[in-house]
Amino acid sequence: MKKALLALALILVGLAVLLPLASSNPDALDALTANLGLQQQISMWQGIMPGYSIPLVGNNYTSTLISGIGGVLMVVVAGLVVGKVLVVKRP
């Protein structure tokens, strides 16, 4: 448990440090569809934190970091739940 918490802390610190260095260029697939002249389609769902941002937070870095931390924690919870359900303890 101690190691897992340490790993989680390292992931969050890594995210905080590396986010400012992340490229803001469009993803290859998005750029490709734009370059080929494919029209941007209307998304069915933008998400609660669209594009990894919190709409109410003005600062880009803070907004992305908060949504990233939220995402990491949500994935951890989902992973714990799935992991618990997946493994049946055998006698």
Partner 1 sequence: MHIKDGFIDPSIALITFAAAIILLVISWKKAKATYTQSFAAILAISSAFVFAAQMINFPLALGTSGHLVGGTFLAMLLGPFAAMISMSIVVVMQAFFFGDGGISTLGANIFNMAITCGLGFLLLKLLTRNVRGIGQFASRVFAASWISVMVGSLAAALEVGFSSVSASVGGVWAVVPTLLGFYAIAGLIEGAVSAALLTSLMRFSPAIMVGFNLIKVKLGVKE
Q: Which residues bind partner 1 (CB under 8 A)?
A: 1, 3-4, 7-8, 11-12, 14-15, 18-19, 21-33, 35-39, 41-52, 64, 67-68, 70-80, 82-84, 86-90
* Shortest separation between residue 56's beta carbon and partner 1, angstroms: 16
> How many whole angstroms from its chain centre is CA 74?
9
Is 19:68 a contact under the CB 8 Å cutoff? yes
**Closer of 37 and 58 to partner 1 (Cβ):** 37
Residue 45's SS3 state is coil
> How many CB atoms are closer than 10 A to CB 33?
15
* Shortest separation between residue 58's beta carbon and partner 1, angstroms: 19
* Shortest separation between residue 26's beta carbon and partner 1, angstroms: 6
Query: Residues, the chain, total?
Result: 91
